[in-house]
């Protein structure tokens, strides 16, 4: 059985080297194969030259021109890969030893769904990450379970058949934020889920500009919720939770970039169309009042 690991990257050299090395260092069962796919999203640093010089045939290197964002890159990597199984790894993170082997075992035993494993996040030990992940194991895992604790699952921790990933059209290329949540909700709706208690990856703190990320969040609203609320597998409560998450992300982005007028206008638009999606906690009510007052004097 062959597994392909897709790493999307943009101007991440030499950090992406650690990600690639963690993939190539994986030990598999005899007869199993590994493919490392790096999708360079139009980098202007030394990524291309360095990968071609250091890895040659060890890595399938693909380059987008122009930059097309990470969802497109992951989808392209999956489409051009040739493994039976597919998983992803962010370019500033690493797989742990045994990561691929642990996730491949269920498929070799006949499993046909999607496997999720634990992620070690910044500030957490592997033991803490595993203990946290085990809180969602043991009971049936559905969309409601995922929405209660979405941080338990990451872009680096899943695996499924590549044919299923392609059939479900992978990541939504219109999303640059919460694209992972959108995919996971669809996978959970469509497929059997297996939670494997194994820490499969380490996530490092991102160096991406917060202001740049906030701008993308504002631009994409409300595409995340609109892409999901029509799914027949979701109940009303799950749809409302998804709507609230989308609204909270957008309003928080407006507030952090100090666009108080945009915050107040968006809050009012949500109130008129989807009042049930509005954040109800004190923090957002306070922010709304501050935004309204500041927008009047700006």
If you search the block for the tokens 């949540």, which residue do you land on?
181
Beta bridge partner(s), residue 2: 33
Give me the pLDDT at residue 287, please.
86
SS3 273: helix
2-202 sits in which CATH class? alpha beta
Give me the pLDDT at residue 133, please.
97
Tell me phi and psi for residue 259, to 5 degrees. Answer: -90, 80
Model confidence at 297: pLDDT above 80: no
Give me the pLDDT at residue 235, please.
97
Beta bridge partner(s), residue 264: none
- Rounded Cα distance between 100 and 81, Å, is 16
Please give the residue that has the higher pLDDT: either 211 or 4: 4
Contacts of 47 (CB under 8 A, 6+ apart): 9, 11, 12, 13, 16, 40
Q: For the whole model, what pTM was predicted?
A: 0.94
Every domain range in the chain assigned CATH 3.90.550.10: 2-202
Q: What is the mean pLDDT of residues 279-290?
A: 84
pLDDT in tens, 81-98: 999 999 999 999 999 999
DSSP for 54-111, written as a single string: HTGGGEEEEE-SS--HHHHHHHHHHHH---SEEEE--TT-EEPTTHHHHHHHHHHTT-
pLDDT in tens, 142-191: 999 999 999 999 999 999 999 999 999 999 999 999 999 999 999 999 99
Fill in the DSSP letter of residue 151.
Answer: G
Give me the pLDDT at residue 209, please.
47
Q: What is the mean pLDDT of residues 218-232?
A: 96
Q: Give Cα separations from 60 to 141, 160, 165, 261 (angstroms).
A: 35, 20, 19, 47
Note whether 286 and 265 are within 8 A (CB).
Answer: no
Q: Strands 2-9 and 33-40, how do they pair?
A: parallel
- Rounded Cα distance between 101 and 98, Å, is 5
- Rounded Cα distance between 89 and 5, Å, is 7
Give me the pLDDT at residue 18, please.
97
Residue 200 burial (10 A CB sphere; 0-12, 13-18, 19+): buried
């Amino acid at each position: 059985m062959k597994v392909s690991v897709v790493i999307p990257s943009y101007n991440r050299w030499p950090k992406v080297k650690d990600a690639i090395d963690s993939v190539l260092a994986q030990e598999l069962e005899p007869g199993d194969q590994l493919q490392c796919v790096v999708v360079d999203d139009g980098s202007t640093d030394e990524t291309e030259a360095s990968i071609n010089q250091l890895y040659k045939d060890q890595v399938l290197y693909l380059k987008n021109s122009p930059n097309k964002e990470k969802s497109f890159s992951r989808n392209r990597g999956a489409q051009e890969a040739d493994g039976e199984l597919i998983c992803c790894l962010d370019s500033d993170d690493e797989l742990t030893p045994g990561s691929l082997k642990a996730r491949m075992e269920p498929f070799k035993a006949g499993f046909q769904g999607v496997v999720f494993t634990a992620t070690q996040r910044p500030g957490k030990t592997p033991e803490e990450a595993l203990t946290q992940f085990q809180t969602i194991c043991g009971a049936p895992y559905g969309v409601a379970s995922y929405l209660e604790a979405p941080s338990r699952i990451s872009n680096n921790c899943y695996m499924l058949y590549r044919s299923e990933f392609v059939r479900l059209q992978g990541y939504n290329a219109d999303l640059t934020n919460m694209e992972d949540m959108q995919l996971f909700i669809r996978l959970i709706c469509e497929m059997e889920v297996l939670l494997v208690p194994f820490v499969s990856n380490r996530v490092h703190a991102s160096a991406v500009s917060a202001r740049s990320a906030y701008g993308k969040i504002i631009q994409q609203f409300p595409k995340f919720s609109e892409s999901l609320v029509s799914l027949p597998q979701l109940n009303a409560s799950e749809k409302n939770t998804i709507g609230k998450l989308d609204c909270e992300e957008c309003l928080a982005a407006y507030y952090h970039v100090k666009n108080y007028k945009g915050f107040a206008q968006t809050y009012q638009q949500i109130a008129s169309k989807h009042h049930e999606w509005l954040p109800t906690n004190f923090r957002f009510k306070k922010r709304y009042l501050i935004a309204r007052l500041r927008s009047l004097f700006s």
